[in-house]
Amino acid sequence: FGAETPQTPRVLKKYDEFGYIEHLPLKGVRKTTAKHMIESVRAIPHVTHMDEADVTGLVQLREKEKKKAEKKGIRLTFIPFIIKAIIAALKNHPYLNASFDEEHEEIILKKYYNIGFAVDAGGGLFVPVIKGADQKSIIDMADEIRRLAMQVEERTIDLMELKGGTFTITNVGSLGGIFATPIINYPESAILAVGKIIEKPVVYRKKITVRSILPLSLAFDH
């Protein structure tokens, strides 16, 4: 009595009926990310809306402010500006800055703005969170994004830096992407995928001209 029944060892085949294969165990950050994404798809009925924004003025503003930031040793990307725009939009559409409590069947509206940004660290996806993003300047956010992204790369980031998000942004434009169907960072209710800014001929003030266009993909809880 009390003896454990020996388990039959698993045989890993080097091929299937069509050719040779390789077995890669799912572990670490990648395993955690996979479970989190599955939970998100299970709990949230996703729908994605895609649109374009004319950001010609933003491109000009960023170019101007970039020089000031460089003097402080800060690399200024478009993301802090986009986050500022997101916060303004969330204030007008509070249901996108919310979560759903399944147990009590309640929508929890968040009165604070903690914006997460996706970072692909090679072995998995991390989402550091900028706490109180509405209270921070463009320069402060740029510096914090740099700091958090570096900590992710070095695997020194504190667990609390990955918690407390109310809305997430993912930059598919950094990979050359245009549109996407991002998975919401559960239990949040929405995520914005930002595409690559492209120069496009458009009708502007009744004339055809070239403008800077930003593709946007907003996935939200239907």
Per DSSP (E only), the strands in the chain are: 46-54, 98-101, 106-109, 115-117, 119-120, 125-126, 129-130, 167-171, 190-194, 198-204, 207-221
Choice among 23, 49, 104, 222 that is catalytic: 222
The model's confidence at residue 202, banded by pLDDT at 50, 70 and 90, is very high
Residue 85 pLDDT > 90, yes or no? yes
The reported pLDDT for the residue numbered 2 is 55
Class of residue 136 by CB neighbours under 10 A (exposed 0-12, middle 13-18, buried 19+): buried
Our answer to whether residue 49 is catalytic in this structure is no
The reported pLDDT for the residue numbered 74 is 92
pTM of the model: 0.86
The reported pLDDT for the residue numbered 1 is 52
Percent of the chain with pLDDT over 70: 97
The reported pLDDT for the residue numbered 4 is 61
Q: Tell me the average pLDDT across 141-161.
A: 94
- How many angstroms separate the CA atoms of 173 and 195, rounded? 4
The reported pLDDT for the residue numbered 16 is 87
Q: Tell me the average pLDDT across 44-70.
A: 94
117: Cα separation from own chain's centroid: 4
